Amino acid sequence: MKGFKAFLLRGNVVDLAVAVVIGTAFGVVVAAFVKDLVTPLIAALGGKPDFATLYFTVNNSKFLYGDFINALVAFLIVAAVIYFFVVVPINALIARSRKEPPADPTTKKCTECLSEIPIQAKRCAFCAQPQPV
């Protein structure tokens, strides 16, 4: 029991639990926003008083495609929020933190005249002095 308690009280397990609870609450808020505001607005444009009650019947079975569209719009809103407010900022931070190593030098200074010469040069092109390799 002691090991199980230590497992539950580790930081990442508690953080994950908090994230799941907040994510679920956010999903409920977005679903309510879509159901109560967005889809009625879409339904008003289509001439129906309530978008969520749209359905068709096959052999006395109701297919509530309005509810499905509500869920689809809610999913798209949640996905967009996650992408724009979590994924994009995290990717920007990761890109900023990555520093590219400096490129290998292609030139060096001549030991005599301090002119820039190719790194493989054995003699300076300007003063003709031999260069250490």
**pLDDT, tens only, 89-119:** 988 988 888 877 778 888 999 988 999 999 8
Q: What percent of the chain has pLDDT over 90?
A: 15
Please determine, for residue 130, whether its predicted confidence score (pLDDT) is greater than 70. Answer: yes
| Per-residue confidence band for 88, with pLDDT thresholds at 50, 70 and 90 | very high
CATH 1.10.1200.120 boundaries in the chain: 2-97
DSSP code of 124? Answer: -
Q: Hey, what are 118's tokens?
A: 């190719």
| Per-residue confidence band for 59, with pLDDT thresholds at 50, 70 and 90 | very high
Distance CA 52, CA 5 (A): 45
Q: What's 2-97's CATH class?
A: mainly alpha
Distance CA 8, CA 2 (A): 10
Distance CA 68, CA 98 (A): 43
pLDDT for the residue numbered 73: 82
